Amino acid sequence: MPDKVSLDILVKSRLKGWGQRPPGVKPRRGKEAWLRGRPSEDENKICNPFLKVPGSTRLRTLPDGLWLNFGGCFAEPFVDILAIEACSTIQNLLDKRSRFSPSTHSLMCVCPTEWLLAPISSTDPTPRWKTTGVVLHEPFNDVVVPVREMRVLYGLKKDHYRGFAQHQLPHAHEFFVPMETLTEEHSEDNPGLRELIARASVSANFFCP
C-alpha cells in the first residue's frame, strides 16, 4: 500500500507540470478551451471535476489526470477529454479500462461550482468558467456536460507494459506508456510522449496537407 500511495503522489506531481493543455496535443477544428481538471493546484482545498453515467449519484470515475477541452455553445455544450491513469497492477488496469470501455450510454463530466469559480492557476486569476466559453453566467450550481470524445493514456509498470504490448489489443481510444516515462522529471518535454499524445488528439484523424 505505501508503494501505491507514493506512486500516486509522484504521478500527480508530474502531471501538475503538464499545464492547462496536454503536452503535444494538436489543435482541433474550431475554438478550443483546455483546462486541467485533475490534479488541481491544491487538492486539499478544492473539488475536482469527475466523470459519471447519467443519473448516478454514487459511482464516480476519478482519473489520476483529467484534461477538459470545452466546445459547443451555451445551449449545447460538450467536452472532449484526455484522461491519464497510472496502473500499478494488472487488476488495477482491468478495473480502469472497464470504466472507459465503449458503451451505448453517455458519459457525463461534472464540473463542481467551486472548481469553476476558482482561478485557473496561481499566475492566472481568470475564473475557470470564463475560460470554458460555454458557461454563460457565473455558476451557482455544478455544471454537467456530456463527453463527446475521450482518449485515455494508461501508465503501466515495465513488465506489465511489455506483456500488454505483446499480447493485447488496445481499443481505439486507448494509449499506453511505460510508467517510468510518465513519472520521469519534466515528462511533458519528452518528445516520444508528446508524439504519442499528439496521436491521441481528435485532429490526428484528419489529413493535414
Asked whether residue 101 is assigned to any structural domain, the reply reads: yes
Cα distance between residue 200 and residue 209, in whole Å: 19
Asked whether residue 1 is assigned to any structural domain, the reply reads: no
Q: What is the span of the domain harbouring residue 37?
A: 15-204
Give the mean model confidence (pLDDT) for residues 164-187. 91
> Residue 156: which pLDDT band, with cuts at 50, 70 and 90?
very high
Residue 42, pLDDT score = 66
The answer on pLDDT for 22 being more than 60 is yes
Backbone dihedral angles phi then psi of residue 39, each to the nearest 5 degrees: -75, 150
The three grid cell numbers given for residue 58, joined into one nine-digit string = 454514487
Asked whether residue 7 is assigned to any structural domain, the reply reads: no
Taking the complete model, does pTM exceed 0.75, yes or no?
A: yes
Residues 189/11, Cβ–Cβ less than 8 Å? no
b/e code 50-61 from CB counts within 10 Å (16+ = b):
bbbeeeeeeeeb
Q: Quick count: other Cβ atoms within 10 Å of Cβ 89?
A: 12
Count of structural domains within the chain: 1
Give the mean model confidence (pLDDT) for residues 114-124. 91
Residues 108/144, Cβ–Cβ less than 8 Å? yes
Asked whether residue 195 is assigned to any structural domain, the reply reads: yes
Asked whether residue 5 is assigned to any structural domain, the reply reads: no
Asked whether residue 8 is assigned to any structural domain, the reply reads: no
